Amino acid sequence: MRMRAATILPATHDRGRRRRRELALVRRRLAGVCVLTAMVAAMAPPAVETTPARAARIEDRRIEAAVDGLFAPWQRPGSPGCSVGVSRGGATVLERGYGQASLELGVPITPQSVFHVASVTKQFTAMSILVLARDGRLSLDDDVRRHLPEWKGPPGVTIRHLLTHTGGLRDAFLLIELAAPDTSRPVQDQLLGLLAGQRGLSEAPGRRYFYNNGGYLLLAAPPERHAAIRTELERLDAQFAPFRFTQAGVRARRRDETWAPRA
């Protein structure tokens, strides 16, 4: 038995050494492959944008080119223009100004330009009236003559009628077109005088809704005549902050005020 064991053991030992050498060789080869793979990865170009992101970027550039082309006729000296913003999915795609904010002063329009927003101010006029009503300085059911002594029209037109476009007033801008030109007064004062001086209405107050600029021209007068409401309007600037209206504001017009855009 001992002779048989002596014959078998050296053969088993040789096979084990060969096996260990083979495993070591495999490990070295695997290590080489890993190093080569790492080198290739390091030398490879950056990953290409995902298809949706690349498509969105291409679409943004297409929109920019289209908008620039649309407003190209105004993008020149001596031309009026506008400020344009385009958003998609809550993200801003483009903010750009085209043309001049002031032809006289040569001020260009930029994304930061401030504009008079015309009838958008009606909601702020209505709010100022409601502030006066809240503070007891007027009632929504007051006759307009109580706050506009110059009113010569028929009785029965109330603050509420003016707020809700149901006052039956004549069209203010048609009236000023029919009137003789007057360059001695601001247009706002002319319109107020023409409306207050009308001795008749287009129809009875409260009869129906009919959008009317003149009603809000009349509504603007009581707030302008109340120092308290002017203070309240000034406070609105701070209230705009949470909405990021950093370049918007409300201001009461002074009789002697002139305004022009600046660079």
What is the Rg, in whole angstroms, of the alpha carbon atoms belonging to the chain? 39
pLDDT, the chain, mean: 77
| Angle, CA of 6, 10 and 11, to the nearest 5° | 115
Q: Is 207 helix (H, G, I), strand (E, B) or coil?
A: coil
Q: Is 96 helix (H, G, I), strand (E, B) or coil?
A: strand
What pLDDT is stored for residue 14 in this prediction? 58
What pLDDT is stored for residue 144 in this prediction? 92
Residue with tokens 């929504």: 140
CB of 240 within 8 A of CB of 249?
yes
Residue with tokens 């260990």: 20
| Predicted confidence (pLDDT) at residue 225 exceeds the cutoff of 90 | no
Give residue 128's pLDDT band: very low, low, confident or very high (50, 70, 90): confident
Catalytic residue IDs: 119
What pLDDT is stored for residue 3 in this prediction? 42
| Angle, CA of 95, 102 and 176, to the nearest 5° | 110
CB of 202 within 8 A of CB of 155?
no
| Predicted confidence (pLDDT) at residue 201 exceeds the cutoff of 90 | yes
Report residue 67 as tokens.
Answer: 């908008």
| Predicted confidence (pLDDT) at residue 27 exceeds the cutoff of 80 | no
CB of 230 within 8 A of CB of 252?
yes
C-alpha to C-alpha distances, 207 to 69, 151, 203, nearest whole angstrom: 48, 20, 7
DSSP per residue over 6-54, as a string? HHHHHHHHHHHHHHHHHHHHHHHHHHHHHHHHHHHHHHSPPPPPPHHHH
Q: Are strands 100-102 and 91-98 parallel, antiparallel or unpaired?
A: unpaired
What pLDDT is stored for residue 179 in this prediction? 86
Residue bearing the bigger pLDDT, 163 or 76 = 163
| Predicted confidence (pLDDT) at residue 100 exceeds the cutoff of 80 | yes
Q: Tens digit of pLDDT for each residue in 171-195?
A: 998 898 888 878 888 888 888 889 9
> Which of 13-17, 51-55, 126-130, 201-205 has the highest mean predicted lDDT (pLDDT)?
201-205
| Predicted confidence (pLDDT) at residue 140 exceeds the cutoff of 50 | yes
Give residue 4's pLDDT band: very low, low, confident or very high (50, 70, 90): very low
Mean pLDDT value of segment 237-260: 57
What pLDDT is stored for residue 8 in this prediction? 41
Mean pLDDT value of segment 108-115: 89
Give residue 223's pLDDT band: very low, low, confident or very high (50, 70, 90): low
Residue bearing the bigger pLDDT, 136 or 227 = 136
Range name among 28-32, 163-167, 170-174, 211-215 with the lowest pLDDT average: 28-32
What pLDDT is stored for residue 143 in this prediction? 94
Give residue 39's pLDDT band: very low, low, confident or very high (50, 70, 90): very low
